[in-house]
Amino acid sequence: MEIYNTFTRSKEEFIPREQDQVSMYVCGPTTYNYIHLGNARPLVFFDTVRRYLLYKGYKVNYIQNFTDVDDKIINRAREEKMDPLALARKYIEEFFADSDALNVMRANIHPKVSEHINEIIELIEYLVAQGHAYQVDGDVYFAVRSFADYGKLSGRSLEDMQAGARVEVDLRKKDPMDFALWKGAKPGEPSWQSPWGNGRPGWHIECSAMAHKYLGDGFDIHGGGYDLIFPHHENEIAQSEAAGHKPFARYWMHNGFITINQEKMSKSLGNFFLVREILDKFPPDVVRWYLLSTHYRSPLDFDDEKLAVAGKGLERIKTAVRLLYEAMAFPASDGEAKTEAKAFEERLSSLRNEFEKAMDDDFNTALATSVFFELAREVNIFVGSAGRISQRDKDSMEKAHLLIKDFNSVLGVLRKIKQPANFCWRQMVQMTS
RNA sequence: GGCGGCAUAGCCAAGUGGUAAGGCAGAGGACUGCAAAUCCUCCAUUCCCCAGUUCAAAUCUGGGUGCCGCCUCCA
């Protein structure tokens, strides 16, 4: 199995840290609003990665955090006259409502910043002690110059970044690129006691602290959107590796963006669609199928028509499954197997190979979905071919059924495959004639 | 200014050296009381343009053009 590693910018053979177990950390949302489609892509994609690893027989330890302490939460809470942590809790629940709808498995652990303040403080203290961080007033900054490898993930040097720096320079910092590990409390903000006075963690430090706590050093896969490569993941590496947790993560995976008219969907551009708005118009399995219909590193353009097309495609799969169920529900007759049975079964196993080959190649879900279409066609042909259905034919159908279930255990698009409730009389006649 | 990505049929989209998957739409046919569904056939001599490497390139190299992203919170 090969994974494209952002760190080396190439596909690499995937060799987990432990033979039978894979450790994954996927950056979760800052919970100050309902999630939008752009948030849903990594959710669904990395869920599919996890499902495929499970399919391959690995145990997967999957961690996804919630950033529940953050400027945006504080601002939003102020607007709504709510307690920031209560607001964050509310949107965590709403997050689960959406992700459950999209058939995303819950992480093994969903750590929250607010519940890991001690771990964060310990990590910062260590960085300060090692000379990688320094205190200014009530704040603590990471000294990027103290970490020689700074920029190694995003492929840029500190010098490159100086040139285009658009940030206003905080003169208290030793280097303009130094970033906050700890922010001194301002009135009315949630804060915790620390060696540097009351305050709260900066954005990046949480992932370093929580990933280390739950997965240890050198865990297997760290995932998130492309826009997290810099500065978020770059900073995570700096913090963790400067603290001796080296390497921090081994495979870095980043998904491409959802676009609207070819432009990035983002909160700052205001061109985003909430998952629940979309779910008002389209079934969740269609949204999931649509998200998986393009390779995860490519941009994926969104509009209603594209979802409608995805819906038609998924319908084709579902029809095949329904026809298979109907045939399997039909009483077996005595006699020989269909002459096609053997070829059908051979075809099934080659389709399984194709599916695995696609997924083994950096999780090529687009190719995998096309294999699902081919499976649908084979099923339709076999089920529709003339002749009685013998017990032997039913065995073949059971094999197809198993393959469908396996594909679906990875793609997660057939939440509930309809049983043959509205059994079609004509097909029954046709199949017996 | 620095760094990176993408460009494949009407649309979506796989495909990193061996002669263009799959889906949607469209055309014809089979089946069907009609329809739906399903099946069969057709639908890119060609992969943005130019040059080069090679027996062979959508795939590699160089040069263009166009679009997008990161460098600031963002999945």
Q: Where are the domains of chain A?
A: 2-282, 303-432
The C-alpha R_g of chain A, in whole angstroms, comes to: 25
Closest CA to A139 of A206, A210, A194: A194
In chain A, the percentage of residues whose pLDDT exceeds 70 is 94
pLDDT, tens digit, 9 for 90 and up, residues A47-61: 999 999 999 999 999
> Does the CB of A64 fall within 7 Å of any strand B atom?
no
Residues A383/A386/A387/A390 CA torsion (nearest 10 deg) = -10
Give distance CA A299 / C1' B7 (Å). Answer: 13
Confidence label for A422 from pLDDT (cuts 50, 70 and 90): very low
Show the CA angle centred on residue A254, arms to residues A65 and A151, nearest 5°. Answer: 95
Eight-state DSSP code of residue A64: E
Chain B positions with any atom < 7 A from a protein CB: 1-6, 11-15, 21-25, 35, 37-40, 67-75
> Does the CB of A23 fall within 7 Å of any strand B atom?
no
Look at the domain A2-282 and name its fold: Rossmann fold (3.40.50)
DSSP bridge pairs for A178: none
- Strand A139-142 and strand A2-5: pairing? unpaired
Amino acid A331: pLDDT: 86
Average pLDDT over every residue of A344-362: 97
The backbone region for A57, taken as left when phi is positive above 0, alpha when psi lies in -120 to 50, beta otherwise, is left
Residue nearest to nucleotide B70 (CA to C1'): A227
Closest CA to A105 of A34, A207, A20, A26: A26
Amino acid A420: pLDDT: 42
Amino acid A202: pLDDT: 96
Q: Considering only residues 193-212 of chain A, list those whose CB is below 7 Å from strand B.
A: 203
Give distance CA A276 / C1' B27 (Å). Answer: 39
Average pLDDT over every residue of A347-362: 97
Confidence label for A302 from pLDDT (cuts 50, 70 and 90): very high
Give distance CA A9 / C1' B10 (Å). Answer: 35
Q: Contact, A351 vs A381, CB < 8 A?
A: no
Give CA–CA dist A320/A347, Å, rounded.
16
Q: Considering only residues 38-57 of chain A, list those whose CB is below 7 Å from strand B.
A: 38-39, 41-42
For the packed helices A284-292 and A365-384, what is the interaxial angle rounded to 10 degrees? 120
Eight-state DSSP code of residue A198: S
Give CA–CA dist A431/A433, Å, rounded.
6
pLDDT, tens digit, 9 for 90 and up, residues A28-86: 999 999 999 999 999 999 999 999 999 999 999 999 999 999 999 999 999 999 999 99
Confidence label for A167 from pLDDT (cuts 50, 70 and 90): low
pLDDT, tens digit, 9 for 90 and up, residues A203-255: 999 999 999 999 999 999 999 999 999 999 999 999 999 999 999 999 999 99
The H-or-E segment that residue A141 falls in is strand A139-142
CA dihedral over A101, A105, A107, A108, signed as positive or negative: positive
Give distance CA A228 / C1' B68 (Å). Answer: 17
- Choose the CATH number for A303-432 among 1.20.120.640, 1.10.357.10, 2.30.110.10, 3.40.640.10: 1.20.120.640
pLDDT beyond 50 at A169: yes
Confidence label for A161 from pLDDT (cuts 50, 70 and 90): confident
DSSP bridge pairs for A287: none
Q: Contact, A420 vs A431, CB < 8 A?
A: no
Give distance CA A373 / C1' B38 (Å). Answer: 14
> In the numeric block, which tokens belong to residue A389?
């259905």
> Does the CB of A161 fall within 7 Å of any strand B atom?
yes
pLDDT beyond 50 at A417: yes
Average pLDDT over every residue of A252-278: 93
> Does the CB of A34 fall within 7 Å of any strand B atom?
no
For residue A420, whether the previous peptide bond is cis, meaning omega lies within 30 degrees of 0, is no
Average pLDDT over every residue of A92-118: 97
> Does the CB of A354 fall within 7 Å of any strand B atom?
no
Confidence label for A166 from pLDDT (cuts 50, 70 and 90): low
Confidence label for A416 from pLDDT (cuts 50, 70 and 90): low
Give distance CA A155 / C1' B4 (Å). Answer: 9
Q: Contact, A27 vs A38, CB < 8 A?
A: no
Q: What DSSP line would sit under A294-307, residue for residue? A: S-TTS-EE--HHHH
Distances (CA, A) of A242 to A200, A247, A366: 21, 10, 39
Eight-state DSSP code of residue A114: G
Confirm whether A2-282 and A303-432 share one CATH topology: no
Q: Considering only residues 303-332 of chain A, list those whose CB is below 7 Å from strand B.
A: 306, 309, 312-313, 316, 319-320, 323
Q: Considering only residues 226-245 of chain A, list those whose CB is below 7 Å from strand B.
A: 226-232
Amino acid A330: pLDDT: 86
- Among the ranges given (A21-25, A123-127, A176-180), the one the predictor scored with the smallest mean pLDDT: A176-180
Confidence label for A340 from pLDDT (cuts 50, 70 and 90): confident
> Does the CB of A299 fall within 7 Å of any strand B atom?
yes
Amino acid A334: pLDDT: 81
pLDDT, tens digit, 9 for 90 and up, residues A372-410: 999 999 999 999 886 778 899 999 999 999 999 999 999
Give CA–CA dist A105/A51, Å, rounded.
9
